[in-house]
């Protein structure tokens, strides 16, 4: 066992004082970090769960925004001066993704310097402003601006909330707590779809109520965030060790002072191993480290690849255009049928919540991503038998079995998606090393929204240019490629302390290393994945 000597660095400011340690021998770093994480075996407080539930309102905002646009596109009529063309529908849909892309970058730039809570507060304010602009819109440009502004808030929350939960959560519940955030996303989509369907028959302005109600959870989150602490890893990085210990006491009320000090020491070791000046690093230095350090590059690349697969696989075409799609297929009450998609999404996010820390990320991804590919293939085949014109108008009043099969395939696809990659793409923040976690998570979120823009702004055009069969066949190919990537490159990190996860990508993509780690630390993995919480 390597001996680590503490060397207190004096600093004129407590804000930037960080305890530095002599570099431990690399061979024993992973084992020592595991030993220093003994606090993980103690019971987790209910406060930890309440904090995760509270900030997961940010996920609800994400879901509500992506959920209400589908019924709005069907019911908005001439409220903005004229019927929306397909290009205008793609514009107002994709502008939110564009705003989210900018919002994610802004949140990533401020998360290390100002902590994890400040960007979430900013997201709430911006979301309310964007909601107001949309609700009061009577012209397409104003509505489009409102969609972009809402996107700024959605992107900021989507970037920081999983990052915040991942750093605050005990290792044994990290996957579950982040999965709860994704469940909040799916619940927001379900609520938005239900409200949209409920206001379908209100001529003209019923959609305004659906949009306006989105400000309520933003206001609630901003108020409750006062009761939530800052991330202990962020506090340690800024030299606020005493505050970090108070947060650890709140999360692990049954822990001893020695266990809390050991946990803080493991965080400090993780920080010091990467850089002794992390807090003072410029954005350029942090970003450069991602692309010049092989292990860090592989970690961020893996997280971003899973995120890209989750978006390019076609799910958000169903969220944004489900009512439009079912109208094309021939269902008379397309908005009501679209609720089935949102409901399936929500139910199977609960399945992931139960399974993700028990069976692990890799096993779930291997099964579900392949299932997504098969469902898209069957949907593509089914569309071959549905007579749809180039203007995306069904040319028959009797669709029959192909329409039913498309609906079944889409529901099964959503079930696979929601129980797998939908959540695990955001759990991917656990793969990113501490010293680049904010910027790495920003890149992960940027990947989400940039690929989301591609999907939102091209779906209707692809349906027209490639035919529905061609479009769904394309998504099938993306999902199959994703399955190959998961099988060959995605390591299993369930139950691993964040300070130990960084060792995985020091061994290539770490698939074999992580599997061996799970065997060698079976007792720890079993403890962190089965122990119940108390207090």
Using alpha carbons only, give the angle 246, 247, 252 rounded to the nearest 5 degrees. Answer: 100
Q: Where is mean pLDDT largest: 13-22, 38-47, 182-191, 386-395?
A: 182-191
Average pLDDT of span 461-489: 90
Q: What is the pLDDT of residues 353-401, one digit of tens each?
A: 888 878 889 999 999 999 999 999 998 898 888 777 666 666 566 666 7
Which residue has tokens 């490639």?
Answer: 466
DSSP annotation string for 359-427: H-HHHHHHHHHHHHHHHHHHHHHHHTTS-B-TTS-B--S---HHHHHHHHHHHHHHHHHHHTHHHHHHH
287's tokens: 């970003």
454's tokens: 């591609």
Which residue has tokens 């020592």?
Answer: 32
Question: Is residue 467 scored above 70 in pLDDT?
Answer: yes
| CB within 8 Å of 87: residues ≥ 6 apart | none
Gap between the Cα atoms of 445 and 425, Å rounded? 10
Q: What is the pLDDT of residues 93-146, one digit of tens each?
A: 888 888 888 888 888 777 777 778 888 999 999 999 999 999 998 888 999 999
What pLDDT is stored for residue 199 in this prediction? 76
Q: Where is mean pLDDT largest: 149-163, 254-268, 473-487?
A: 473-487
CA 402 to chain centre: 33
Q: Phi and psi for 292 in degrees, rounded to 5?
A: -105, -15
Q: What is the mean pLDDT of the chain?
A: 79
98's tokens: 């564009």
| CB within 8 Å of 440: residues ≥ 6 apart | 290, 296, 299, 300, 303, 429, 432, 433
Gap between the Cα atoms of 258 and 262, Å rounded? 6
Average pLDDT of span 465-475: 87
Q: Could you tell me which residue, 492 or 176, shows the higher pLDDT? A: 492
8 A C-beta contact, residue 511 and residue 415: no
42's tokens: 């103690």
pTM reported for the whole predicted model:
0.68
Helix then strand count (H, E) for the chain reads 24, 2
Q: Is 356 exposed, middle or buried (0-12, 13-18, 19+ CB in 10 A)?
A: buried
| Helix H or strand E encompassing 21 | strand 20-21
What pLDDT is stored for residue 170 in this prediction? 80
Question: Is residue 203 scored above 70 in pLDDT?
Answer: no
Q: What is the pLDDT of residues 405-454, one digit of tens each?
A: 888 888 899 999 999 998 899 888 788 887 787 788 888 888 988 888 88
Average pLDDT of span 18-35: 44
Q: Could you tell me which residue, 334 or 478, shows the higher pLDDT? A: 478
Which residue has tokens 């004096």?
Answer: 10
Gap between the Cα atoms of 274 and 26, Å rounded? 12
8 A C-beta contact, residue 124 and residue 219: yes
What pLDDT is stored for residue 272 in this prediction? 67
Gap between the Cα atoms of 195 and 197, Å rounded? 5
Question: Is residue 517 scored above 80 in pLDDT?
Answer: yes
Question: Is residue 280 scored above 90 in pLDDT?
Answer: no
Gap between the Cα atoms of 278 and 260, Å rounded? 22
What domains can be seen in the chain, in order of their start residue?
46-232+285-502 (1.20.1250.20)
Residue 277's pLDDT band (cuts 50, 70, 90): very low
What pLDDT is stored for residue 19 in this prediction? 39
What pLDDT is stored for residue 362 in this prediction? 92
Q: What is the pLDDT of residues 61-74, one digit of tens each?
A: 888 887 888 788 87
101, 94, 103: which is closest to 66 by C-alpha? 94
- Residue 131, CB half-sphere, CA atoms under 13 Å: how many? 25
């Amino acid at each position: 066992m390597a001996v680590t000597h503490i060397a207190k660095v004096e600093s004129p400011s407590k804000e930037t004082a960080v305890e530095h340690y002599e570099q431990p021998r690399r061979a024993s770093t992973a084992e020592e970090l595991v030993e220093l994480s003994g606090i993980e075996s103690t019971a987790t407080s209910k406060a930890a769960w309440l904090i995760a539930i509270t900030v997961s309102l940010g996920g609800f905002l994400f879901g509500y925004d992506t959920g209400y646009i589908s019924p709005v596109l069907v019911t908005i009529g001439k409220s903005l001066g004229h019927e929306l063309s397909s290009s205008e529908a793609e514009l107002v849909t994709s502008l939110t993704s564009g705003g989210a892309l900018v919002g994610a970058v802004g949140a990533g730039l401020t998360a290390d310097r100002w902590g994890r809570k400040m960007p979430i507060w900013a997201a709430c304010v911006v979301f309310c402003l964007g909601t107001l602009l949309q609700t009061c819109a009577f012209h397409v440009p104003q509505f489009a601006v409102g969609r972009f502004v809402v996107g700024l808030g959605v992107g900021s929350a989507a970037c920081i909330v999983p990052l915040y939960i991942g750093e605050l959560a005990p290792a044994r519940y990290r996957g579950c707590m982040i999965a709860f955030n994704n469940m909040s996303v799916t619940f927001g989509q379900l609520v938005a779809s239900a409200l949209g369907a409920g206001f379908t028959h209100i001529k003209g302005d019923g959609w305004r109520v659906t949009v306006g109600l989105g400000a309520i959870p933003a206001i609630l989150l901003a108020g409750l965030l006062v009761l939530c602490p800052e991330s202990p890893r962020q506090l340690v990085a800024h030299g606020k060790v005493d505050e970090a210990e108070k947060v650890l006491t709140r999360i692990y009320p049954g822990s001893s002072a020695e266990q809390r000090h050991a946990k803080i020491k493991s965080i400090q070791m993780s920080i010091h191993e990467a850089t002794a000046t992390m807090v003072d690093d410029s954005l350029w230095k942090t970003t450069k480290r991602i692309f010049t350090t092989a292990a860090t590059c592989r970690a961020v690349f893996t997280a971003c690849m899973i995120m890209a697969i989750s978006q390019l696989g076609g799910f958000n075409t169903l969220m944004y255009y489900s009512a439009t799609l079912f109208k094309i297929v021939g269902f008379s009450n397309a908005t009501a049928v679209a609720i089935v998609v949102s409901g399936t999404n929500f139910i199977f996010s609960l399945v992931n919540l139960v399974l993700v820390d028990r069976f692990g990320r890799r096993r779930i991804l291997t099964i579900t991503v392949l299932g997504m590919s098969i469902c898209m293939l069957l949907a593509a085949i089914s569309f071959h038998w549905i007579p749809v014109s180039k203007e995306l108008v069904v040319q028959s009043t009797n669709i029959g079995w192909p329409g039913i099969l498309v609906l079944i395939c889409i529901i099964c696809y959503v079930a696979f998606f929601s129980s797998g990659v939908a959540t695990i793409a955001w759990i991917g923040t656990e793969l990113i090393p501490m010293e680049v976690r904010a910027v790495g998570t920003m890149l992960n979120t940027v990947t989400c929204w940039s690929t989301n823009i591609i999907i939102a702004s091209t779906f209707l055009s692809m349906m027209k240019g490639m035919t529905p069969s061609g479009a769904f066949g394309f998504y099938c190919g993306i999902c199959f490629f994703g399955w190959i990537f998961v099988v060959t490159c995605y390591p299993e990190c369930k139950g691993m302390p964040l300070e130990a996860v960084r060792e995985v990508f020091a061994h290539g993509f770490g698939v074999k290393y992580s599997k061996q780690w799970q065997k060698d630390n079976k007792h720890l993995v079993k403890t962190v994945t089965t122990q119940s919480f108390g207090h």
